[in-house]
């Protein structure tokens, strides 16, 4: 199964505070379909050009429009407080890492840790691992990069390559969310937070049961920056109860 493989972001790569980006366009732009280009590609380009979040991301210096999804979730629920330790799964091109680093005031001495199969440019206050999260060694490498710290927040924007078949894509993204939850349940500090992308249609029963067992509150969130036509939504679990003893975990799996 493909892991956190996603197409590179279209848009600016400057960090916040670096300026750049003019005023927002006020007129809708139309893109002609070039010979040999699929209509779907043309529509994607046109949507990007006319998307206000793409324009806002460029103006603010964020690497992707996805930064505003995390901003909107954090503004509502306050999961990224100064001093918190964060792990960002499926981080490329780095929009979420930028937001997290700003809000927790990450530094070289206490960085957040990000991982993706795709390469990422440097972000101040972020330790970047270039690896597929599906690989067996990935969780241990993340733990090593944390240098003994337990994360307070595990973010997962992991997404599979889509097939266009809704049921298949749903199962694939839930599988990635389950991997992310397994990592979170083994590493989070008590009281910690887990945020993961899923697709609409409900989180799979086993995952939802596990989240409700491990966290005090579980809710689904679709931030305004998530396109209305997109099936994506996010599951937000807060108040991690603490890692269960191995004997309890074994009993639950029996």
Residue 44 is labelled as binding a ligand: no
| 132 labeled binding residue | yes
Strand partners, 198: 233
CB 207 within 8 A of CB 184: no
DSSP notation for 107-148 = -SSS-EEEEESS-----TTEEEEES-TTSTTHHHHHHHHTTT
Q: What angle do CA 43, 10, 37 make, to 5 degrees?
A: 35
Task: Please tell me the distance from the alpha carbon of residue 201 to that of residue 233, in angstroms, as a whole number.
Answer: 9
Question: Both ends of the chain: CA-CA distance in Å?
Answer: 26
- Whether 157 has a binding-site annotation, put simply, is yes
The count of residues in the chain is 254
- Beta 215-221 vs 232-240: how paired, if at all? antiparallel
Contacts of 150 (CB under 8 A, 6+ apart): 85, 187, 188, 189, 192
DSSP state of 43: H
Q: What single-letter DSSP state applies at residue 10?
A: P
CA 120 to CA 102: how far, in whole Å? 17
Within 10 angstroms of residue 238's Cβ, the number of other Cβ atoms is 18
Catalytic residue among 56, 58, 69, 197: 197
Q: What is the largest CA-CA distance in the chain?
A: 62
Q: Is 14 known to be catalytic? A: no
Tell me the binding residues: 94, 96, 116, 132, 157
Residues annotated catalytic, as ranges:
197
Tell me the binding residues for S-adenosyl-L-methionine: 94, 96, 116, 132, 157
């Amino acid at each position: 199964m493909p892991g956190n493989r996603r197409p590179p972001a279209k848009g600016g790569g400057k960090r916040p505070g670096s300026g750049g980006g003019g005023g927002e366009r006020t007129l809708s732009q139309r893109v002609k379909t070039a010979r040999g280009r699929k209509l779907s590609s043309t529509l994607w380009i046109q949507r990007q050009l006319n998307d206000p979040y793409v324009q806002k991301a460029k103006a603010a210096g964020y690497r992707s429009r996805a930064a505003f999804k995390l901003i909107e979730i954090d503004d509502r629920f306050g999961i990224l407080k100064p001093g918190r330790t964060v792990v960002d799964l499926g981080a490329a091109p780095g929009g979420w890492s930028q937001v997290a680093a700003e809000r927790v005031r990450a530094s070289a001495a206490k960085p957040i840790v990000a991982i993706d199969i795709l390469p990422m440019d440097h972000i101040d206050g972020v330790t970047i691992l270039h690896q597929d999260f599906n690989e067996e060694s990935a969780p241990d490498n993340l733990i090593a990069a944390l240098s003994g710290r337990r994360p307070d927040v595990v973010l997962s924007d992991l997404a599979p390559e889509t097939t266009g078949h809704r049921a298949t894509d749903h199962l694939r993204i839930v599988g990635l969310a389950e991997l992310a939850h397994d990592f979170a349940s083994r590493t989070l500090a008590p009281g910690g937070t887990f945020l993961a992308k899923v697709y609409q249609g409900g989180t799979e029963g086993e995952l939802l049961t596990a989240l409700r067992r491990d966290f005090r509150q579980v809710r689904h969130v679709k931030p305004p920056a998530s396109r209305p036509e997109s099936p994506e939504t996010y599951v937000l679990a807060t108040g991690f109860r603490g890692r269960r003893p191995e004997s309890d975990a074994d009993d639950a799996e029996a």
